[in-house]
Amino acid sequence: MALLTVDGPLDLAATLESGQAFRWRRVEPSPDGSPWFEGVAFGNLIHARQTRDGVEFTTSPDPESDVAPLLRDYLRLDEDLTAIYQALEFDEHVRQGIALYPGLRILRQDPWECLASFICSANNNVRRIARNVDDMSAAFGSPVTGGADERRSFPTPTQLADAGEASLRALGLGFRAKYIAATAERIAGANTDLFALRLAPYQEALDALTELPGVGDKIANCAMLFSLDKPEAFPVDVWIDRALRDWHFTEQQKPIQRNRMRPWAQARFGRYAGYANQYLFHSRRLGRR
DNA sequence: AGCCAGGCCCTCC
DNA sequence: GGAGGGCCTGGC
């Protein structure tokens, strides 16, 4: 057992269950009520829960001391959330979202797993996306601990390119199978270096991602926000569409079009537009208001 | 039964 | 350049 200390607010459950990542599961309630989560990342099976002191976790097969800095980075525990809140609370609805879910953080995921997961999100629902991602991992990923029925890591681009469209379709990915296979080939062939996009400017990363099959503006912005260090990214999906329409454009006689929302929001919220997006999305999707 | 899911792509105008 | 329709699949 190891511990990550946290400065500032953290809501681990909201962070892991807000539709950014799809491989975390609640496993068992702990005596004090804060749930354990099980996930696969960095080639490890990870169990984690939030306590008064921070994030408790165990790892397998690597020692916790090796994984600790990776998990800290993944959870962005060093992000100054308070400063971000101050920059965004001018907006009434973002402020309400922050008040409802203080400590909801934006993850820093593996770019390939994140991109591929969101390719699965097209015209899909969260539960089936999670199942698609798990099914791909079980079928084509590598074992992490050596046990018989353990979970596997998310497949590499090469593993999915080798799998091919037909076997992905057989898993139940539907029309997304073609996009996953084709994009995996492109990445495996090193035509696009996803990690390099962490250092690229926003527009350059957006242009590179939307060249990939099955990756449009929305999915590219998800990958940029959740894995490529682009906090100004602003994915516009049906939930954000409804939120902005109801909360920010109620008095317009002509409703704003979906494809004009991202530039509008980025101009309004600035370099942390993605955090505004996440709080609007989460509070809207949970249906509390 | 029909609609909707964290869209993208293609066609046609 | 933009509106409209099709698309795998599963749950309600």
> Residue A15 has which token pair?
């962070």
Strand B contact at CB of residue A281, distance < 7 A: yes
Asked if residue A232 is part of any domain, the answer here is no
Whole-angstrom Cα distance, residue A273 to residue A269? 5
pTM of the model: 0.97
Residues in a beta bridge with A44: A41
Beta-sheet pairing, A25-26 with A2-5:
unpaired
Question: In terms of residue numbers, what domain contains A258?
Answer: 238-285
Note whether A211 and A138 are same-domain residues: yes
Give the residue, A93 or A253, on which the prediction is more confident. A93
Note whether A128 and A159 are same-domain residues: yes
Note whether A115 and A223 are same-domain residues: yes
Of A9-23, A31-45, A91-105, A206-220, the range with the lowest mean pLDDT is A31-45
Number of domains into which chain A is organized: 3
> Residue A166 has which token pair?
């037909």
Asked if residue A219 is part of any domain, the answer here is yes
Q: Three-state SS for A177?
A: helix
Note whether A126 and A207 are same-domain residues: yes
Which pLDDT score, from 0 to 100, does residue A31 have? 73
A135's enclosing H/E stretch is helix A126-140
Q: How confident is the model over A2-17, as pLDDT tens digits? A: 999 998 999 999 999 9
Closest to A234 in 3D by CA, of A285, A276, A286: A276
Final residue of a structural domain among A78, A96, A130: A78
Which pLDDT score, from 0 to 100, does residue A251 have? 77
CATH code for the domain in which residue A220 is found: 1.10.340.30
**Residue nearest C2 (alpha carbon to C1'):** A259
Q: How confident is the model over A143-176, as pLDDT tens digits? A: 998 666 689 999 999 999 999 999 999 999 999 9
Distance B3 C1' – A238 CA (angstroms) = 15
Q: Which nucleotide is nearest to A22 (CA to C1')?
A: B6
Whole-angstrom Cα distance, residue A52 to residue A152? 31
Show which positions of strand C are touched by protein (CB under 7 A).
2-3, 7-11
Residue A152 per-residue DSSP state:
B
Q: Is it the case that residue A206 has pLDDT exceeding 60?
A: yes
Beta-sheet pairing, A54-60 with A25-26:
unpaired
CATH code for the domain in which residue A67 is found: 3.30.310
Strand B contact at CB of residue A227, distance < 7 A: no
Note whether A259 and A201 are same-domain residues: no
Q: Which nucleotide is nearest to A218 (CA to C1')?
A: B7
Note whether A59 and A125 are same-domain residues: no
Strand C contact at CB of residue A250, distance < 7 A: no
Q: Is it the case that residue A112 has pLDDT exceeding 90?
A: yes
Note whether A209 and A246 are same-domain residues: no
Q: Among A178, A218, A230, A254, which one carries the catalytic annotation?
A: A218
Q: Is it the case that residue A227 has pLDDT exceeding 80?
A: yes
Amino acid sitting at position A13: A
Q: Is it the case that residue A289 has pLDDT exceeding 70?
A: no
Query: Tokens 């899909």 map to which residue?
Result: A124
Q: How confident is the model over A23-53, as pLDDT tens digits? A: 999 997 777 778 999 999 999 999 999 999 9
The whole-number average pLDDT for the span A182-207 is: 94
Is A218 one of the annotated active-site residues of the chain? yes
Asked if residue A39 is part of any domain, the answer here is yes
Strand C contact at CB of residue A254, distance < 7 A: no
